[in-house]
Structure 1
């Protein structure tokens, strides 16, 4: 999958994708892939290695670009992509098995993408905060400068937080292209931090 993205970028003279790998717990990793001003990832799935996490992020990116019509779908004779090694769910819930691409639909008009079977990270944070008896965070996003209105800085803040890691600015990001991308990156960082708090409390 990563080869598909690399070839796509080289053919169009585009910038290569940027990968960001983050920890979701002991020997559990997630990753995002940023390309064309958008960030994609295999949401809330934790992998046993950074390589598998990056492969899953590349796969999610290829699927998204194909659905948007930016990247051509495989020809009729092309076999479906190899599946990535099974992931371990970040919060212990079974992950649905992704459906295979139907080669017969390769030449069909683009179809509206169906909602992701994985819950968004932002929807997991309130539930995790409730379980930890922590008030959900508020998000603050500001333009980096008036000269760069498309770039954003941001952070999350927890009121009356007990843990030191939740005090002050949490999940701080700087100069991220796109307001939604900036918030998504903050949310991902906050999710990792809250997961760490959960593990610390369970460890006693």
Structure 2
């Protein structure tokens, strides 16, 4: 028996979705790879299926994410293309598990509400007036320099082309001397990264 015979017996039509656009409809047959036990769909070797495609069974309605492909060769000729897949549920679960964790260490964090209570929030809108008040109260002889530093850092964040690794390095001495302002700068950066407006 050849692949075409198996397709007629147990195959199904699949819509191929690439970059959220349906590009074609193909024939395939759900299978389990011997030896590995991996779930796959057997397609004809010339089928346009790529890693990252979604295939949707026309009869079954199953939504499957193609995570890898491989061509099997038989007697020196391509015999089938295997599309290894995840179900929609498996795909969504893997996405949640692969979200990178971010650790932020705050010291004297300006404007932060940090703890274990479920009601804690971080306000992402950066308030320049509050920082100016802090500088007035705690900046001592460096008040004007600190105000200038905040203004320059604001410009850096507003012009994303200027934000580069080490872009704040020349402020490190001032930030170290006035460690209380580090939290304000961190919040300014958070507001920039989350697209929140400064006020």
TM-score, normalised to structure 1, is 0.24
TM-score, normalised to structure 2, is 0.24
